[in-house]
Amino acid sequence: MKFRNVIELDLGTVLLAAMTDGGAAVGTYDFATKKPAGFLPIAAKIENLVTFAGATTLMGELGTAADPDAYVDSGSVETLGDINALPGAAPALGLGADQTVRLTLTEDSEWGDLTAGKVSVKMYCIDMNDPVIKDS
């Protein structure tokens, strides 16, 4: 049996204040760390580190500007804990080019209702650029 390397891509930690008000109930954040070309996502994790104050419902997605839920389709981030998810419908998105990863959070009524919050985001990818396949 042969295996490829799985890479943990730590995209970073996001404070509520760093997010852009996307209008109405949506906030977005584009990570400076890009998903490199040739990295095939197999899982993603959004970890709530500080409860988002002011929301009764807060859902999170992870993807790109063109496909906001490519990597995490949707999950609750209103309380402390993790969203661990398999990629959405487009896991091969961006295999040919680096991709800017976008976090999208949707609040129940108005983005401005939120007063605090912090998440950490990681992706787990198979490095398809790595020519070395390891024997078991």
Residue 32 lies in a domain: yes
Domain of residue 110, CATH code: 2.60.120
97 in a structural domain: yes
How many structural domains comprise the chain?
A: 1
Residue 92: per-residue pLDDT: 59
Domain that holds residue 104: 2-128
Per-residue tens of pLDDT for the chain, all 136 residues: 677 788 999 999 999 999 999 888 999 999 999 999 988 888 888 888 988 888 778 888 998 888 888 888 888 887 777 776 766 655 556 678 899 999 999 988 888 888 889 999 999 988 888 766 666 5
Per-residue confidence (pLDDT) for residue 45, from 0 to 100: 86
pTM value is 0.87
Beta strands in the chain (DSSP E): 2-3, 6-15, 20-21, 26-35, 39-53, 58-63, 72-76, 81-85, 99-107, 116-127, 134-135
Asked if the structure places residue 134 within a domain, the reply is no
Give the pLDDT of residue 120: 94
Q: For residue 83, is it within any domain?
A: yes
